[in-house]
Copies of this chain bind each other. A is one copy, B any other.
Amino acid sequence: MDKIAVIGVGSTEFGDLYDRAINEIAVEALFDAIRSSGVKKDDIKSLFIGNMGSEMFVKQEHLGNMVSTLADLPVPSFKVEAAGASGAVAMRTAYHSIQSGHMDIVGVIGVEKMTEFTKQSETQGALATGLDVMWESNMGGTLATGFAMMAKAHMREYGTTREQIAQVAVKNHQNAKKNPKSQFKINVRVESILRSKMIADPLRLFDMTAACDGGSALILASPEVAESYDSDPVYIHTSKFGYSPLQMHLRKDLTTLTGTTFAAERAYENVGITAKDIDLAEVHDIFTIAEILAIESLGLVEKGKGGQATEDGVTSLEGSIPINTSGGLKGRGAPLGAVGVSQAIEMYEQFKGLAGDRQIKNIEWGLTHSMGGTGGTSLVTIFGR
């Protein structure tokens, strides 16, 4: 049996957590997850920490040891990094470690503290380390310019409109209003997005996510052990990794996230389902256009029809395939190391019927999708009973 149970979830709020250090944010999320799970702290055999850039953002490496020390939890603890996919990769590494038979209960923490820089250029510089330093970031390339090129290609190739792309943000902020822990509980209109400051043509300020602090945590357990804590657990059924060339200039097609498609196909096959069986998904909407690319690349909507589907409400809470019910990175918030873990928390709450006004009914299969950089790394994780 490949599946591993999620027996507890925990989180800080996402935003400018100026009053807490990064290890305090991580431990707050962890302790929240421990309380939620019912395990004793000392039952936890290892910690897996997803974090993109604490050494840049807050001058702190060795986060595993820092977190262990503050939590008074003297177990194996280390950081896993794959840019924006760090949290999802930490979760996958934990999943494999339980399957190795060496440990039965572990903690996964995703954490980032991004708001201490005083200059916007420092933040952009830190994020651009997820691109190729020699061929992209040193030449002025940023995450925004990368996704802007993909947006232009998608508009040209499929007639996707600027308004359709903006609709992703409108929807995700509406969903965020229904999530108590989200950062941006706001109404935004398509017109305001299209009037906001130009960042990288055609993407504007409100197409982006914001620098953010926050932590998310999960307690994972082997199926045998999980039964003692939860009579009907939510399970991770598979977690697949997809690769695409890191550099934009090495990609043959800018309108498909090929790593995402690769990971999704293997994930569906591994579980024995197809994209049609997925009832809801959290995807890596680090920019508005990224959600459209993701839902197409995952096979959740037809290729080229992601913009139209978004405009038609197919991906809204009432639609046939609700996307980013949590608010996504756009609305829930985007502390990068935390987002892959935060997506799993939304799955847990949806499966457990804890999602309040954003609750989706009759869920059998859910999916989370996380990316590093401009999509070089993709993770697809499938949740079910």
Contact = CB atoms under 8 A, between A and B. Distances in A.
Interface stretch (A225-233, A314-322, A323-331, A371-379): A371-379
Interface stretch (A6-14, A81-89, A167-175, A272-280): A81-89
Given A21-B134, A80-B80, A241-B76, A62 B373 contact: yes
Contacts of A241: 46, 75-76
Contact of A69 (B68, B92, B250): B250
Contact of A246 (B66, B83, B246): B66
Given A78-B82, A97-B96, A65 B243 contact: yes
Contacts of A246: 62, 65-66, 68-69
Interface string A102-146: 100000000000000000000001100111111001100000000
A39 interface: no
Nearest to A72: B245
B65 A61 contact: no
Given A69-B245, A81-B81, A99-B102, 9 more contacts: A52-B61, A59-B125, A59-B133, A61-B81, A62-B81, A62-B130, A78-B80, A80-B80, A100-B100
Interface string A345-385: 00000000000000000000000000011001100000000
A55 B58 contact: no
A77 interface: yes
Contacts of A55: 53, 55-56, 126, 129
Interface residues of A toward B: which range? Answer: 35 or more
A372 B82 contact: no
Interface in A137-187: 137-138
6 contacts: A62-B129, A62-B130, A62-B372, A69-B376, A80-B81, A99-B100
Contacts of A77: 243, 377
A64 interface: yes
A102 B270 CA distance: 12
Contacts of A96: 96-97, 100, 102
A53 B62 contact: no
A69 B250 CA distance: 9
